[in-house]
Structure 1
Amino acid sequence: MAERKLLAGHAIRRLRRQLGLSQVAMAEALDMSPSYLNLIERNQRPVSAAVLLRLAEAYDFDPRKLNAAAPGGGADAVRRRLSDPLFADLAIDRHQLEEWLAGAPDGAEAFARAYDRMGGGAAPGAAPDAEAAVRREIERWRNHFPDLDAVAEALADELRMGAGDLYGAMAERLRVKHQLSVRILPAEVMPGLTRRLDLHARQLQLSEMLDPSSRSFALAEQLAQEARGEIDALVRGAALDRLGERMYRRHLTGYFAAALTMPYARFLRACEASGYDVALLERRFGASWEQIAHRLTTLHRVGARGLPFFLLRVDRAGQVSKRLAGASAAPLAEGAGTCPLWNVYEAFARPDELLTQLVALEDGSRWFTMTRCVRRHGMRVGGVAARFAVTLGLTTGAAGPLAAAAGVALEGAAVPIGLGCRACTRPDCPQRSAAPTGRTRVMPERETGASPFGFAAD
């Protein structure tokens, strides 16, 4: 809490209304004047550590819910939604946004829910998007779930004391505590499957096609049942539909698995000592590049924060199958499209290389990105070899400690990119494939520009 002022008046007011209390009654319980409580609820005063303690004592309130309950996931999350071309003509600035969140937090929350339910700008009448709702909930927590980290870290320490081989220790834990044996089966016995839980035979069955890091991760996911209470509480608090609950539960299970195989404190120390050298971290923790990349987006523990990475995973066609903004507030993780000038797509032709790039967005923000091509394990010869480009990125201002940025002039020239042609208003881009949404396309009779998709300035 010492790192920044906590303005959470909307959450305090919501708690008070849920309890059916007047400002006078709550102020008396919190040992403050009603006028001061009114200032807190209007975000005119921060919530102090003393007030947090009184809230916890008087109402059995978990202070972590104050951050999790920010309307629409907080200012950065709402700003990313407003970057949709649908709102391009409104020019809502930061000051207006802050006033909106402070003055009408429930209205901002309603906007966020409606936008996400429509699938982030989908056409009216479109089906609710469970994935968007789950992403919103992950974003609300900044993809950091301290309760899961705590359980996983304690279990990891217990397993390390019993054996130096984490895979063997996890298998033994499953056998002794959960009466589950681990069995590696031939690929022909599990066609199209990589993992199966057979409760009748009391077996966790894994395909022989899985590589060692994926086998360890599968065991760690199964051990997530030891955090069932914490996971159930998070799922209940998300208020999702049935499909959304299953998707969110899967994400939380994977989060626990990563936290077990890469315990927070040990992993952060290794990151800081190595300059976040992903290749080294792969070897040290027996994890894949993508698993390490995922874990890097979760390091937001108060008093022990890692760098604020975002993650994006795309295929050759530019379809995004994973977005994690973490604490980065990165438009690149939320944009409706990706830019062909971004070197993400070069990774498919250079699968064994780590590609880095400095890029600059229209809003003036500058980013350092690292991309590597990864393949999905589990397919036999002759099957489809699925490949994805996984990108990690963070602001150039935060990229100094990175081993991958050594020797890079982070304040030097950066490639100007956009968030897809429909959202980009750079006028002279020769790579442009469409005019921006909301801008009138123009075609002069006597002139030809660098791009055939010219458009009016406003």
Structure 2
Amino acid sequence: MAELNDRKLYLGPKLRVLRRELGLNQTRMAEELGVSASYLNHLERNQRPLTAQMLLRLANTYDIDIRDFTATPAEGGAGDLTEILSDALVRDIGVGRDEMLEVAENYPGVSEAITRFYRALSDLRRAPGETPDTGGSAPVAAPIDWLRETIARAGNHFAEIDAGAEAIAAQLPDDPAMMQAALRTRLKDRHGMTTQVVRAEILTGTVRHYDMHRRRLMLNERMPASGRLFAVAYHLCAQELSEAIAAQVNRAAPPDEDSRRIATIAFTNYAAAALIMPYDRFRQAAEQSRHDLLLLRDRFGVSIEQLAHRLTSLNRTGARGVPFFMAKIDRAGILSKRFDGEAWPFARYGGACPRWDAHDVRTTDQVTTQLIETLDGRRFVTLAIALPHGRDDARSRSVIALGCEAKHGGRIVHADGIDLDKDEATQIGPTCHLCERRACPDRALPLVTRALDLHSYERTTAPFPFRRV
């Protein structure tokens, strides 16, 4: 608290967002905090700094984490605006970085609105001539994009679902094989659902199927033990945590039926992971093992992908884990899945940097560690491991990558032997068409914010040289 007394905190926009999330007007919040409405108005408009006493009142009245509330905003919002305002349509305006930072920090709603418009524009560009008739209203985001933004805003943590899953897990054995047997028994005894492993030819092209008429859950024989455990946990959570899942879906306010369905599946998946890897036990195991991915995978009987998902969700107030980001990448470098975490170092609307070694990882039982550094000098530790082929005819191999800021590297066993401050880091950019690293020999696309600098008498080692100003 001494640190808060030493500096003035102007957090008006955050206070305004908190009030609106709580559904309060200024008069009501002022009464609950024991201040005048005019004083609260001054705070929200950054005409008065938030005092340490007022922060304590906020924390006690509304159960917020002071560290979160006073934390410097992540670069994500400004990074998104930088990318959007670099589009050929508007880049000639020359909006400065200071202006973008001010909008992202003080007017997050404006930043979010611009992002949604740009996402809609990008969708229209991908499908020219197929513009839907929206009746004059704004285009609805694609369900996957909407879900990604919803999860990102929540920090991939849903406390009510976590608590419900943890309560169920407390009644089950810790050993994965015994847990699966107990879950099957519970499904049958409490919900009249049987579980059966069936031959692959019966479930061609399907890994699991629930026969509603016979109340029978059928699992493909080729499904690994981790998949079977997750499938049984999924269906149990769909039965016993249905109210918490439905409440979370309603709070998310899906814009259409497809978004509602995908949100229900996503939150049920979250519940299954929280059941298999209950919050406190999993977080303690992660810290004690120093995030040994292979050990945690085997101890909880999960796949690397399930494990990585869970590691990004350890966001409980007062018991947070390492703020990991996660990506699932195919061999072409396309991100099919992404959780941004606290500090995502790549662009939102393009592929990852080709200098990031995660694309090339091929080993399924060895973690590949890389120290990377972004254009602004921030350092990150990334961990990558390949997924086994899911199907006999699958030619591509996907990679799961986790990462966090290098300051957390001491808590990760896979970073041992790396001097996180002094060792040479691989220089990366957000994505090629936004990267201003002029001498990069791996550049695949020209920089959209600068004019090309091509000459017939000279060829540079870096593709697509551009002018400095």
Identity %: 35
| 1:38 maps to 2:41 | yes
Q: What is the aligned partner in structure 1 of residue 263 from structure 2?
A: 248
- Give ranges in structure 1 of 5+ residues lacking alignment: 57-61
1:387 equivalent to 2:379? Answer: no
Matching of residues 243-392 of structure 1 within 5 Å:
243-326=258-341, 328-332=342-346, 334=348, 336-348=350-362, 350-377=363-390, 379=391, 381=392, 383-392=393-402
Pairwise CA distance, 1:316: 1.2
- Residue 116 of structure 1: how far off its partner (Å): 4.0
Out of 209, 219, 234, the residue aligned to residue 196 of structure 1 is 209
How far residue 259 of structure 1 moved from its aligned partner, in angstroms, is: 0.7
More displaced stretch, 124-133 vs 153-162: 124-133
Shift of 1:123: 6.4
CA contact (8 A) 2:347 2:430 kept: no
Q: 2:33–2:57: 8 Å Cα contact kept in structure 1?
A: no
2: CA distance between counterparts of 1:333 and 1:195?
35
Is contact 2:343–2:404 with CA below 8 Å preserved after alignment? Answer: no
Q: Are positions 1:402 and 2:408 aligned together?
A: no
Contact 1:75 1:101 in 2 (8 A): no
Q: What corresponds to 2:115 in structure 1?
A: 112
1:158 maps to 2:171: yes
Amino acid at match of 1:324: F
Are residue 429 (structure 1) and residue 435 (structure 2) matched?
no
| Residue 440 of structure 1 pairs with residue 440 of structure 2 | no
**Aligned with 2:245 (options 231, 239, 249):** 231
CA distance in 1, matches of 2:85, 2:127: 13
Give the drift of 1:122: 5.5
Change (3 A) 1:302 1:177: same
Are the equivalent residues in 1 in contact too, given 2:384–2:399 (CA < 8 A)? Answer: yes
Counterpart selection for 1:9 from 11, 15, 27: 15
Which aligned pairs between 1:128-207 and structure 2 lie closer than 5 A? 128-160=141-173, 165-207=178-220
When residues 376 and 86 of structure 1 are mapped into structure 2, their CA distance, relative to the original with a 3 A threshold, is farther
C-alpha deviations, 1:86-108, integer Å up to 9, x for none? Answer: 43754644x64564356544433
Query: Match of 1:270, as an amino acid?
Result: A
Are the structure 2 counterparts of residues 181 and 360 from structure 1 closer, same or farther at C-alpha, using a change threshold of 3 Å?
same
How far does the alpha carbon of each residue in 1:368-422 deviate from its partner, in whole angstroms, 9 at most, with x for none?
1111110353x3x4x2255201111111111112110111111210011112211
- Take 1:162 and 1:75, find their aligned partners in 2: how far apart are those partners? 39
Q: Which residue of 1 aligns with 2:77?
A: 78
Residue identity matched to 1:247 = I
Residue 144 of structure 2 aligns to a residue in which SS? helix
TM-score using structure 2 length: 0.84
Moved more, 209-218 or 220-229: 220-229
Secondary structure class of the residue paired with 1:87: coil
SS, match of residue 387 in structure 2: strand
- For the residues of structure 2 that align with 1:407 and 1:277, how far apart are their CA atoms? 15
Taking structure 1 as the reference length, the TM-score comes to 0.86
Tell me, in whole angstroms, the C-alpha distance in 2 between the residues paired with 1:229 and 1:333.
Answer: 36
How far apart are 1:35 and its partner, in Å? 2.5
Letter matched to residue 339 of structure 1: C
Structure 2 gaps of 5+ residues are 132-138
- Larger deviation, residues 211-220 vs 431-440: 431-440
Larger mean Cα displacement after TM superposition, 39-48 or 427-436: 39-48
CA distance 1:119–1:205, change in 2 (3 Å): farther
CA deviation vs aligned residue, 1:190-233 (integer Å, no higher than 9, x gap): 11001111110011111111000010001111122222222212
* Distance verdict in 2 for CA 1:420–1:75, change over 3 Å: closer
Report how many residues are paired: 437
Read off the aligned partner of 1:425 and give its amino acid letter. Answer: E
- After superposition, the C-alpha distances for 1:131-188 in whole angstroms (9 at most, x for unaligned) are 2111111000011111111111110001239998100111111111111111111111
Q: Which residue of 2 aligns with 1:59?
A: none
Within 2, Cα distance between the matches of 1:15 and 1:308?
Answer: 24
Contact 1:342–1:417 (Cα < 8 Å) also in 2: yes
For the residue of structure 2 that corresponds to 1:223, the secondary structure is helix
